[in-house]
């Protein structure tokens, strides 16, 4: 049976592609989406998550979360993801409002009621929502089967030489999450920089012909390669964390101790 999964995200082109993949995968039971300010502001990440879930035909509840990191100012990656957060795509506005209850409150309620190590958290943005939930109620860590998160770097970062965007956006939140005691699978940019949206891959996805496939292709085409890395397309970071949940044999890793430099 697919593990109950909550996706915490900040869509964002690659978050949206990750949501499409998760919502199309029977291996993952997406019970809710929680959203955080990250690539763009919370008004956009919330709207985008609701619109993408509706287009995917799985209008799971979307809970609004933190409008800013714990201590740092609100991040902004609109130079990559566009002003709306979904560069290159036009989506009908969502018909649903955000679900009642904040992201942190929803995470606490679900995890408090869950059997030990039963809920998967797939985190694709700054870790503010999860940190807030864990700071208020640390015992909820017991309900987490694992946190599969896109973030961090083993080598160079992508936002500064030392830091990746999601961790740099809210390092204090990341420090709380990494110290919480729940099992963590970290999908860093060293991995996601191998998942490049090249023109032939975008064409193959577009040729599927469905509305989610067309949206994924538009989002990949709208997510330009960054000159400083010299890639032939944009890295589809967040979809890699979802891909790990669907097909873990695609990836390998090792156990490491991680502390966050704040």
The residue ranges that bind ligand BDR (CB under 6 A) are 12, 14-15, 39, 77, 124-125, 150, 158, 164-166, 189, 237-238
Contacts of 4 (CB under 8 A, 6+ apart): 29, 31, 110, 114, 118, 119, 120
The residue (of 45 and 120) whose beta carbon lies closer to ligand BDR is 45
Place of tokens 């999601």: 166
Q: Contact region for Ca ion (CB under 5 A) — 6-14, 66-74, 108-116, 226-234?
A: 6-14
Torsion of CA 156, 160, 166, 171, to 10 degrees: 100
Q: Can 172 be counted among the known catalytic residues?
A: no
Q: Identify what 189 binds: ligand BDR, Ca ion, none; CB under 5 to 8 Å per kind.
A: ligand BDR
Min dist. Cβ of residue 210 to Ca ion (A): 23
Q: Identify what 8 binds: Ca ion, ligand BDR, none; CB under 5 to 8 Å per kind.
A: none
Binding flags for Ca ion, 8-47, as an x/- string (CB under 5 A): --x-x--x--------------------------------
The residue (of 125 and 234) whose beta carbon lies closer to Ca ion is 125
Contacts of 249 (CB under 8 A, 6+ apart): none
Residues numbered 45-64 forming contacts with Ca ion, rule: CB under 5 A = none
Other CB atoms within a 10 A radius of the CB of residue 146 amount to: 16
Both tokens assigned to 262:
């704040």
Q: Identify what 158 binds: ligand BDR, Ca ion, none; CB under 5 to 8 Å per kind.
A: ligand BDR
Q: Identify what 40 binds: Ca ion, ligand BDR, none; CB under 5 to 8 Å per kind.
A: none
Say how many residues make up the chain.
Answer: 262
Binding flags for Ca ion, 122-141, as an x/- string (CB under 5 A): --xx----------------
Distances (CA, A) of 56 to 52, 132, 194: 6, 29, 26
224: left (phi over 0), alpha (psi -120 to 50) or beta: beta
What Rg do the C-alpha atoms of the chain give, in angstroms? 17
The residue (of 27 and 190) whose beta carbon lies closer to ligand BDR is 190
The residue (of 75 and 143) whose beta carbon lies closer to Ca ion is 75
The residue (of 7 and 143) whose beta carbon lies closer to Ca ion is 7
Both tokens assigned to 133:
């939930």
Contact (Cβ atoms closer than 8 angstroms) between residue 28 and residue 246: yes
Q: Contact region for Ca ion (CB under 5 A) — 59-67, 94-102, 167-175, 231-239?
A: 231-239
Catalytic pick from 63, 81, 106, 237?
237
- Angle, CA 38 vertex, CA 37 and CA 40 arms, to 5°: 85
Residues that bind Ca ion (CB under 5 A): 10, 12, 15, 124-125, 238
Looking at the annotation, which residues are catalytic?
237
């Amino acid at each position: 049976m697919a593990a109950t999964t909550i996706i915490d995200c900040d869509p964002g082109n690659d978050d949206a592609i990750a949501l499409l993949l998760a919502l199309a995968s029977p291996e993952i039971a997406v019970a809710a989406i929680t959203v955080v300010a990250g690539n763009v502001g919370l008004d956009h990440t919330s709207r985008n998550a609701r619109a993408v879930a509706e287009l995917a035909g799985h209008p799971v509840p979307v809970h609004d979360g933190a409008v800013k990191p714990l201590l740092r100012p609100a991040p902004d990656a609109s130079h990559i993801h566009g002003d709306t957060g979904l560069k290159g795509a036009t989506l009908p506005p969502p018909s649903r409002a955000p679900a009642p209850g904040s992201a942190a409150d929803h995470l606490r309620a679900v995890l408090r009621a869950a059997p030990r190590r039963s809920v998967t958290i797939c985190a694709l943005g700054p870790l503010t929502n999860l940190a807030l939930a864990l700071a208020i109620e640390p015992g909820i860590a017991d309900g987490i089967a694992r946190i599969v998160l896109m973030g961090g770097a083993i080598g160079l970062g992508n936002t500064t030489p030392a830091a990746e965007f999601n961790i740099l956006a809210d390092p204090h939140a990341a420090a709380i999450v990494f110290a919480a005691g729940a099992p963590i699978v970290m999908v860093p940019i060293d991995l996601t920089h191998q998942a490049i949206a090249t023109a032939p891959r975008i064409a193959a996805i577009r040729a599927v012909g469905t509305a989610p496939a067309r949206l994924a292709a538009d989002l990949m085409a709208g997510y330009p390669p960054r000159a400083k890395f010299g890639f032939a397309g944009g890295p589809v970071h967040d979809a890699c964390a979802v891909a790990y949940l669907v097909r873990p044999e695609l990836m390998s890793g090792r156990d490491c101790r991680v502390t966050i430099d704040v």
